[in-house]
Amino acid sequence: MITIQKSYTQLLTKFANQRPGLDFHNYGDVQLFRQESREITKDLHDFTELLRYAMIRVNGLDDKIEAYLRTSSGRLRLGEHGMLEYITGQYFPTEYRPASARVLADIIWADYRDEKRADGTHVYETGHEIRKALSQWLSRRVMKNYFN
């Protein structure tokens, strides 16, 4: 039997891309149901935007995602069998995509925070400087939701 090891980037992407499993009975109103559905779709767009940027910006992204998921004490982490485990807070369909995006946002932030010049000094001294640099590359929505 041959086992194909997927990358952790693929694993995270597959998790974020899964169907949310919204149940209309939890809403009872078509307008509320559709509003929630639109927000969940926007969360997927946020994840995709962060993934694209992380793939360009972060060297060794796959290794950093693995390390983050293995050491995370958050809701999304790597389980014993190499599968992602998510601990639901209130309602899985509205939480899992922002949790996936948070992984990428934290990795991107750490990449900026740890960036150094040739002389060994940090390129960005404050969080404000990092946010200013990020705002040149990311949408307002992503900045507001993940780097505020």
* The model's pTM: 0.93
Closest to 110 in 3D by CA, of 73, 147, 70: 147
Sign of the dihedral through C-alpha 98, 101, 106, 108: negative
Tens-level pLDDT at each residue, the chain (148 residues): 544 457 999 999 999 999 999 999 988 899 999 999 999 999 999 999 999 999 999 999 999 999 999 998 889 999 888 889 999 999 999 999 999 999 999 999 999 999 999 999 999 999 999 999 999 999 999 999 999 9
How far is residue 108's CA from residue 101's CA, in Å, rounded to a whole number? 11
